[in-house]
Amino acid sequence: MEQSKTLLGQMDYHHHCGKTTMALVELVRSQLIFCALAVLAEERKPLECLDAFSSTGIMGLQWAKHLGNSVKVTVNDINESSVARIRENCHLNKIRTVAKADEMPDAAPEISDKDFVATVEVTNMDANILMHMRSFDFIHLDPFGTSVNYLDAAFRNVRNLGIISITSTDTSSLYAKNTHVAKRHYGCNLIRTEYYRELAARVVLAAVARTAARCNKGIEVLLSVALEHFVLVIVRVLRGPSLADESMKMINNLIHCHWCEERIFQKEGTMIEENPYNQLPCDCHISMPGRSAVLIGPVCLRMFCFTSIESSFDRMLSAHSNSFQMQNHTPGIHP
């Protein structure tokens, strides 16, 4: 079985790709994350990166195999059987495993190790503990469900100008089915709208920006994607209280009209406006008085700006065109 030239055991492959579309979407997700890491690998060497919820090892093994000595990869999972599976997949891919990062070679493998194409560190820890104990340049979070419980640890120790990639699969709350759960996890008011996926990405980004700010860090949004079963956001970490303050300015509420789905970010400021409905461009509140508008949020004003990952992304998009939808603009929400 093959995925991006990285071998996985038979069972693992089916675990990943029950359906063809799912397989493609997963491939796209892993390629997006890979692109972000590849960009960072060009900026600093060697780069310490963490696949914190590795499961089969699919992500981390690809990084090690394709980026070679420019990355020092740690693949982690709390589950012992997952770790055993990671080791099997390493074996299958001729990747040497070490238990501690300081056992990793700085240069090409020794002559006696010439059969190995790469080395990874395999750890069996709670991701929160690992991230509190050690610093990384690149962290990939992919827990079951919401990622909010792991953001604090990730942002506490990540190196300045490093990158954090966050996959959230709690789409029932993010896509406004279980709004009470969204309230609990993200402190956010949500309702189902025609742009619910975009909102989901904005909700996650607001949570990420708040966490970073608690650690006196700001974020630059590199990418945000909301597909069928996950929301992926990739951010650059910018250290410093003033950058944290700048990021907090990216968070605001949205005023949304129930009738026509018109929406606008609430005006800045702490003054209570007599008629906030006036901020909406539509006049439904006049023609249909009553509860025509709701407050959604807090959400992030910035979605993503293509920066250096643009070219890799374009290449990948053309290879997989028509097979998936990207939210690469902000339909109707300003700015």
Ligand X SMILES: C[S@@+](CC[C@H](N)C(=O)[O-])C[C@H]1O[C@@H](n2cnc3c(N)ncnc32)[C@H](O)[C@@H]1O
Residues lying near ligand X in the complex (CB under 6 A) are found at: 53-56, 58-59, 76-79, 82, 126-127, 142-144
Instruction: List C-alpha distances in Å: 225 to 25, 79, 193, 200, 221.
Output: 11, 28, 17, 9, 11
- Nearer to Zn ion among residue 101 and residue 284 (C-beta): 284
Q: Which of 101, 181, 260, 264 is in the footprint of Zn ion by CB under 5 A?
A: 260
Q: Which of 1, 117, 264, 284 is in the footprint of Zn ion by CB under 5 A?
A: 284
What are phi and psi for residue 257, nearest 5 degrees? -85, 125
What's the min distance (Å) between Cβ of 92 and ligand X? Answer: 15
- Nearer to ligand X among residue 167 and residue 327 (C-beta): 167
Q: Which of 113, 183, 259, 329 is in the footprint of Zn ion by CB under 5 A?
A: 259
Report how far residue 165's alpha carbon sits from residue 231's, in angstroms, rounded to the nearest whole number: 11
Report how far residue 109's alpha carbon sits from residue 65's, in angstroms, rounded to the nearest whole number: 13
- Nearer to ligand X among residue 127 and residue 244 (C-beta): 127
Segment contacting Zn ion by CB under 5 A, of 11-19, 109-117, 154-162, 258-266: 258-266
Q: Which of 1, 262, 266, 310 is in the footprint of Zn ion by CB under 5 A?
A: 262
CB of 160 within 8 A of CB of 238?
Answer: yes
Picking from 206, 294, 208, 209, the residue whose alpha carbon sits closest to that of residue 254 is 294
Picking from 186, 216, 214, 213, the residue whose alpha carbon sits closest to that of residue 202 is 186
For 72, the enclosing helix (H) or strand (E) is strand 71-76
- Nearer to Zn ion among residue 248 and residue 284 (C-beta): 284
What's the min distance (Å) between Cβ of 273 and Zn ion? Answer: 17
- Among ligand X, Zn ion, none, the one that 79 touches (CB under a kind-dependent 5 to 8 A) is ligand X
